[in-house]
């Protein structure tokens, strides 16, 4: 069974790699998170499926926060 769009835990995903992002600026945090996700993929730390899941979760989070 495939996970639904809200089943992906973005925070837990980032913590798996020792990434804790909090700048006090929610919009800035989202930009940094996206950069980190893409860098993990470029370094072959995550595969394409994880990249797409993480970016989808990030997109959902942006929509939920109205950004």
Looking at the domain 10-64, which fold is it?
Answer: Helix Hairpins (1.10.287)
Using an 8 Å Cβ cutoff, are 33 and 26 in contact? no
CB-side exposure of 40: number of CA atoms within 13 Å?
23
Whole-angstrom Cα distance, residue 23 to residue 33? 11
Q: What is the pLDDT of residue 6?
A: 58
Structure pTM? 0.83
**How is the chain split into domains, by residue range?**
10-64
The one-digit pLDDT tens for each residue of the chain (67 residues) are 344 455 789 999 999 999 999 999 999 999 999 999 999 999 999 999 999 999 999 999 999 888 6
């Amino acid at each position: 069974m495939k996970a639904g769009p809200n089943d992906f835990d973005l925070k837990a995903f980032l913590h798996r790699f020792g990434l804790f992002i909090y700048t006090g600026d929610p919009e800035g945090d989202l930009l940094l998170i996206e950069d980190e996700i893409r860098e993990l993929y470029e370094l072959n730390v995550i595969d394409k499926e994880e990249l797409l899941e993480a970016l989808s979760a990030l997109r959902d989070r942006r929509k939920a926060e109205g950004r």
